[in-house]
């Protein structure tokens, strides 16, 4: 691992902060969604999560002890700007000041995500990302955040995984706000794209001292068989998942509708045919590109009769003209996601080939795995499977000259969206009743890697097993 390579951790406000109704915070779409019966697997809500709002000092001490280079976290839009617009909540500014200053004092690089899925409920009530006005409100939020914290934040990420917002939140309804509009959800794509571009302009107008980028989740896509139907289905999935946002942002052009998708144009894809006057704003040059990678995708033609998606089951998926097939050759995580570190290299190769010199420096802004971790009789948590997962994936990322960072998802077991507390991604175990933190083997592995780097022993091979 190169000495300058950034090895950090990532989190999101809605998943860790808690304090949902304290100090002026108002509900986000996830608070509303989680209150609906049957939306969250274990019936939990974002009301408390890991209670990071009150336990930041405890978590910071653990981060410092683990020798973490950088902490990527998000600002709660509902906390900082409770109505989604209007005046800034000064108590929220004070909280994030404490977080940022604490990280800096600990020698940890602050990386801020502006939007990690938690749209303020009042904006969603007015139409959310289906309305152009939401993009303008987001630009106001970005400007306010930049003015408050722009002198200290190292890197800014405008949006996290807009693809997931569209697919899970607006097309399939398995995430907040719970709309199931199928391909009609693509009406919101232009507004998310515009929000990104306007936020870049707003941050640079402040101006902020840090670098600016966007994060999206990408997956290598392959057809399940050599058949033309599976090839066409894979192309459509690749369009929706990988090209729909990246092409306008990085190439300054509309994502081209796959030839095999002409039959579904009536479902809403045709509305992206002309981004028009927004194109220049959407494609502002970036300082880095955030890449979230979890697993590859094998696609077959035809709907999934069980309505299965990687993030939950939904009746809406039964009307989608493609389905994800399993990888029997790969082990899986607790989420049943295939573990394929080599596919990260395939993905990076594909991005470099498609975007060339329009692709800025890459940061792997999320990567990690869920496993059913338990505290053992001796009080320790042995997550050797996660150690192996991280060591192999980080090795792929660190060996690539285009990649500058890898952020582990996540530090403390968090509230994992629609899965609630049923999936554990953390390097620190969370007792969901007492909120006690217990470092796992992966935490000690992370620290061992950082100690080895400090000794200029920068290989990962000797640290694959937990210490």
Active site residues: 161, 366
273: helix, strand or coil: helix
367: helix, strand or coil: strand
Closest CA to 34 of 11, 18, 54: 18
What letter does residue 116 receive in the DSSP assignment? S
Helix 90-105 and helix 52-65, axial crossing angle in degrees, nearest 10: 10
CB under 8 Å to 137, separation ≥6 — which residues? Answer: 84, 85, 123
Instruction: Take residue 424 and report the two structure tokens written for it.
Output: 């554990």
Left, alpha or beta for 302 (phi > 0: left; psi -120 to 50: alpha)? left
Instruction: Take residue 151 and report the two structure tokens written for it.
Output: 């002198």
Residue 206 C-alpha from the chain's centroid: 25
C-alpha dihedral (383, 389, 390, 396), degrees to nearest 10:
170
Instruction: Take residue 94 and report the two structure tokens written for it.
Output: 């004070």
What letter does residue 253 receive in the DSSP assignment? S
Using CA atoms, how far apart are residues 332 and 32, in angstroms rounded to an integer? 32
What's the chain's length in residues?
Answer: 467
């Amino acid at each position: 691992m190169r000495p300058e390579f950034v090895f950090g951790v990532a989190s999101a406000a809605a998943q860790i902060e808690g304090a949902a109704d304290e100090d002026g915070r108002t509900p986000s779409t996830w608070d509303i969604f989680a209150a609906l019966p049957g939306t969250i697997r274990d019936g939990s809500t974002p009301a408390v999560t890991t209670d990071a709002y009150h336990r930041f000092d405890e978590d910071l001490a653990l981060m410092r002890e683990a020798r973490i280079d950088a902490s990527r976290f998000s600002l709660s839009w509902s906390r900082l700007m409770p109505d989604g617009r209007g005046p800034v909540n000064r108590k929220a500014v004070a909280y994030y000041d404490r977080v940022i200053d604490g990280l800096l004092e600990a020698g940890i690089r602050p990386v801020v995500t502006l939007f990690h899925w938690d749209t303020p409920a009042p904006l969603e009530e007015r139409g959310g990302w289906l309305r152009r006005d939401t993009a303008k409100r987001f630009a106001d939020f970005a400007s306010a955040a930049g003015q408050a914290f722009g002198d200290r934040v190292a890197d800014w990420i405008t949006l996290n995984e807009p693809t997931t917002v569209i697919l899970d939140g607006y097309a399939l309804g398995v995430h907040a706000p719970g709309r199931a509009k199928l391909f009609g959800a693509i009406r919101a794509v232009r507004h998310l794209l515009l929000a990104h571009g306007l936020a870049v302009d707003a941050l640079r107008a402040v101006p902020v001292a840090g670098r600016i980028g966007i994060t999206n989740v990408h997956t290598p896509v392959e057809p399940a068989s050599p058949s033309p139907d599976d090839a066409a289905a894979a192309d459509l999935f690749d369009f929706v998942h990988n090209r729909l946002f990246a092409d306008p942002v990085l190439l300054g052009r509309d994502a081209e509708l796959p030839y095999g998708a002409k039959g579904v144009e009536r479902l809403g894809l045709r509305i992206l045919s002309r981004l028009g006057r927004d194109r220049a704003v959407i494609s502002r040059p970036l300082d880095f590109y955030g890449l979230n990678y979890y697993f590859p995708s094998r696609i077959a033609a035809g709907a999934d009769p069980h309505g299965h998606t990687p993030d939950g089951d939904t009746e809406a998926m039964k009307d989608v003209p493609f389905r994800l097939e399993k990888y029997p050759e790969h082990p899986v995580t607790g989420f049943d996601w295939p573990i394929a570190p080599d596919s990260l290299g395939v993905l990076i190769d594909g991005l470099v080939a498609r975007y060339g010199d329009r692709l800025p420096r890459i940061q792997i802004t999320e990567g990690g795995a869920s496993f059913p971790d338990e505290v053992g009789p001796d009080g320790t948590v042995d997550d050797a499977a996660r150690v192996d997962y991280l060591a192999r994936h980080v090795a792929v990322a660190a060996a690539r000259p285009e990649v500058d960072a890898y952020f582990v998802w996540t530090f403390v077991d968090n509230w994992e969206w629609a899965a609630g507390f049923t999936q554990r991604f953390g390097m620190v175990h969370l007792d969901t009743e007492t909120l006690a933190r217990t470092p796992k083997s992966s935490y000690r592995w992370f620290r061992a890697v950082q100690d080895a780097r400090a000794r200029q022993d920068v290989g990962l091979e000797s640290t694959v097993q937990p210490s």
